[in-house]
Amino acid sequence: MLKRPVDPARYGGVVRPDKTVRWAADALEQVRQLRGRSPDTWPTPTALPESLDRLAQWLTELGWDDLSCLARREELAVYRALSAVQPNLFTDQIVHALAALRRGLMECQRHEEALEVVEELLRLSEAGRFAQKEAPDARYWRTLLLARLGRDQEAVESAAEAVTETRGRLQHAGATSASFELIHALTAYADRLDKVGRVAEAAEVSAEVMTAWWRQADSTVQFLQTLDQYSERLVRSGQAEQARACIVEAMGKMRRRKRDTYQATAWHNLGVRLLALGAPEAALTAGEEAVQLFRDRTRAHQKRHRELEAEDDWDDDHRYSEAYLLKRRREELKSSRKVVRRAEQDLHDALLALSACLRQLDRIDEAASADAEAAAALPG
């Protein structure tokens, strides 16, 4: 069971993998010693399922999710057997194991089985407070799993049910504004409506999501991303004029919000859409904002990469071999270069979009300047 090699790309531990394998082997040995024994001979009333839980955790850390799922299945079987003797005593432990099993099955791409687990979690949601806390997450995953299985209409119904349940629970609790939970439920519902071709309805739901993000502190990026999606859905549902108006209105509101480089892509997308909608002056405002944010981002990444290149203590960690440290160093530099190249490409694209906008406004010299900066943004 534990003889397979550890894939470094999937390993999730913070110590050497061989130590985690040894801990998993110890947990497996404990399980073997307790299997087949009567529960009244265990050191504690839940010794076997707790040992299986530890084993499953080590297997997950090793990236062996298929084996972790086997341990979780056995853990659930034991808790169910114990629950048959003492009803309702182990509901929280069963819910914990089911949630962990769902995560493992998702990692293994076993979506049908994961959906069965999620449905069981929802059936247990009335059994206790811990199960109720897991229910919103279970509803989210039910919708997503139905979508991944191609059961799109059922996914729409599941998403609508999640919105209704969440909204009702919040109203009952006296909430005065949308919570993150409701925002995410509405977002999933809009996505599912869009998937089945109900684009105008999806746009209406996106409008509610956009309003909710605006009212949340430090959620400007999410607001802009939803505005981008909302306006795009308006265009596809034949409401181009409304799309243009909503973007222009939102840009006016944005004057009161702090800018940061995470907003760059959304500003770029909005500028491109405004240009396509025949609003070059508004597109210019969005395009200039995007270019400046992409410039700032590119310079920051370039600076961090130069600092990384200049580091001379990368090989000072005596816990690891020189070969390992050199490999890690090369991987860090490669990853950093990739981030810089992506930032430079984004700046290049934003400058070309800005140039197109300037040309529509007959500002030819400025367009040429943007084209020249775009060419220089991608070093050979």
Structure confidence by residue, pLDDT tens digits, 91-117 = 999 999 999 999 999 999 999 999 999
- Asked if residue 189 lies in contact with residue 159, where contact means CB atoms within 8 angstroms, the answer is yes
Of residues 147, 189, 148, the one with CA closest to residue 166: 189
**Domains observed in the chain:** 46-86+95-123+132-164 (1.25.40.10), 255-307+330-380 (1.25.40)
pLDDT higher than 80, residue 175: no
Of residues 197, 264, 270, 267, the one with CA closest to residue 232: 270
Q: Is 61 helix (H, G, I), strand (E, B) or coil?
A: helix
pLDDT at 380: 65
pLDDT higher than 80, residue 157: yes
Structure confidence by residue, pLDDT tens digits, 261-276 = 999 999 999 999 999 9
For the segment 230-235, the average pLDDT, to the nearest whole number, is: 97
